[in-house]
Structure 1
Amino acid sequence: MDIAIAGGTGVIGSHVVRVAQERGHAVRVLSRGAGVDVLAGVGLESALRGADAVIDVLSITTTDAKKAAEFFTRTTANLLAGQRQDGTGHHIALSIVGVDRAPYGYYAGKLAQEDAVTAGDVPWTILRATQFHDFAAQMHSRAAVGPLHLAVRMRTQPIDAGEVATRLVELAEHPAHGRARDIAGPREEELAEMMRAWARHHGHDGWMPRIGLPGAFGRAMRSGALLPQDDADLKGITFAEWLSAQPER
């Protein structure tokens, strides 16, 4: 197959590229470095020509619901328009488990993306996954007040990014079938403890007080609304197993 990957240079995208290549597929990465700006709709016509499927793993660093929704609806619209024009017949989008139960901030943008995909006329598949193991590292960087790092309370069931990448490529290898079965890691974790463990592993031994984020999204994080349901597919290694394989710094 010939698979176009939007966001192929990102955290999950790099895994998708690797997995697709390992499975013998031709890969084209839609990135500014390759002359493609999905947000502006530049370069998509030639980039999508002849592709069998598009995997969209684009992301944006924001917690602003309006900015996230604008980004995801515009990039999705541009990809779908390019696919209609070229006849690329399958659009696969990565979303987040529980996005409809906590439609706030970044999650509001992902929900808007899902709506744009399902409203389009390009055959589609949407895969919802839980947060990746390296979410602890991301939150350690973001949840800081000066030198003090905060341990954010959240019930989560993190998954190895490679497992999600493999599932996305598997979905691209088959016809579109709408909402795919959700995918999550093998067990529930507490994000605050993940963050503390990540910090210790990397030589950060300072005090990390536990906090709950304010507002509706913070309540959703603590309530378990973002955990997978009973019918989710549980895959891969635990957070502790993943962390032990990471180089110490």
Structure 2
Amino acid sequence: MRIAIVGASGRIGREVVDVLKNQGHDVVAITRSSGVDVYTGQGLERALTGVEVVVDAVNAATTDTEAVTEFFGTVAGNVQRAAASAGVRRIVLVSIIGIDAFTAGHYAGKLAHERAYLAGPVPVRILRAAQFHEFTEMMLDWTTRGDTAYVPEVRTQLVAARTVAEYLADLAVDESGAERLEIAGPEALNLAAATAKLASRRGAPARVTEVSDPATPDHRLQAEGALLPGPGAIRTGPTFDAWLDQHYPAAR
């Protein structure tokens, strides 16, 4: 099957590419470096020639609400139009668990992403995932100041990026796949506590402090568990501790 991956160089996109190639599929990696810009639409119709399924794993470079909402909405509209013109059979989108009530930032952008795709003519399957185990790495990169990382108060159920990629690949190739799925890890976690475990394995920063800013939109939703999976979600490993052991083995 010929399958195009939007955002093929990103954290999830590159994993999906690897999974599908290992299964023997013909994969079209859609990235700016390959001459395709899904935001402007440049090169998109040509890239989708002969493609049967599109997987959208693109990410945005901003969390500003207006900018990220416009970005994801534009991308979805461009991909829908080009996919319809090319005769693509379906689109598979990775999104985020629990975002329906969010009004700001990346989560609001992903909600706009979903809605823009669902408004188009090509059938869409959506896999809503919990935050990835790898999100803790991003937290350290984003929030460390000096010897302390300041991590927002979030309850989540971290899942491995590779596991999400495997389910995205299944939705891409399975003719009878579900229109909606949720996937999460096997255990609910406090994001700051999980990030502190990672920091300990890395040896830096020295401290991880949980913070809550009442001025931040939607901060209570994150703190009170809006990003946790619903009762019908798929819960699957590895656990966060197993992922840590694999990627950051403890010193002996």
DSSP-derived class of the 1:201 partner = helix
Farther-moved stretch of structure 1 (134-143 vs 4-13): 134-143
After superposing the two structures, state which structure 1 stretch, 228-237 or 145-154, moved more.
145-154
The 5 A counterparts of 1:1-249 are 1-175=1-175, 179-204=179-204, 206-214=206-214, 215-247=216-248
Query: How far does residue 64 in structure 1 lie from its aligned partner after superposition?
Result: 1.1
- Contact preservation (8 Å) 2:99, 2:227: yes
* 8 Å Cα contact 1:36-1:44 kept in structure 2: yes
Contact kept in structure 2, 1:198 and 1:243, CA below 8 Å: yes
* Structure 1, 39-48 or 211-220: larger mean CA deviation: 211-220
TM-score by length of 2: 0.94
How many angstroms apart in 2 are the aligned matches of 1:58 and 1:3?
A: 15
User: Using the alignment, how far apart are the partners of 2:177 and 2:112 within structure 1?
Assistant: 19
- Does the 8 Å CA contact 2:91/2:123 hold for their aligned counterparts? yes
Contact 1:76-1:116 at 8 Å conserved across structures:
yes
How many residue pairs are counted as aligned between the two chains?
249
Q: For residues 203-248 of structure 1, give each alpha carbon's deviation from its aligned partner in whole angstroms, at most 9, with x where no partner exists.
A: 1151322212433421111101110011101112111110111146
Percent of aligned pairs with the same amino acid: 37
Amino acid at match of 1:246: H
Distance of 2:146 and 2:201 partners within structure 1: 21
Q: Distance in 1 between matches of 2:219 and 2:40?
A: 33
Distance of aligned partners of 1:5 and 1:136 in 2 relative to their CA distance in 1, 3 Å threshold: same
Q: What whole-Å deviation, never above 9, does each CA across 1:30-52 have from its counterpart, x for those lacking one?
A: 01111111111011111000011
Computed over aligned residues only, the root mean square deviation of the Cα atoms, in angstroms, reads 1.7
3-state SS, counterpart of residue 207 of structure 2:
coil
CA contact (8 A) 1:155 1:222 kept: yes
Q: Is this contact kept in 1: 2:149–2:205, CA < 8 A? A: no
Whole-angstrom distance in 1 between the partners of 2:63 and 2:26: 34
Deviation of 1:178 (Å): 6.5
Whichever residue aligns with residue 184 of structure 1, its letter is: A
Give the 3 Å change call, closer, same or farther, for CA 100–110 of structure 1 in structure 2.
Answer: same
Matched-pair contact (CA < 8 Å) for 1:56–1:94:
yes
Letter in 1 for 2:152: V
Shift of 1:85: 1.0
Asked if the contact 1:150–1:210 (Cα under 8 Å) also holds between the matched residues in 2, the reply is yes
State the distance in 2 between where 1:142 and 1:247 align. 19
Alignment TM-score, normalising by the size of structure 1: 0.95
> Using the alignment, how far apart are the partners of 2:22 and 2:213 within structure 1?
40
Q: Give the partner amino acid of 1:243.
A: L
* Runs of 5+ unmatched residues, structure 2: none
3-state secondary structure, aligned to 1:149: strand
1:25 partner amino acid = H
Contact 1:96–1:131 (8 Å) recurs in 2: yes
Q: Is the 8 A contact 1:157 1:189 kept in 2?
A: yes
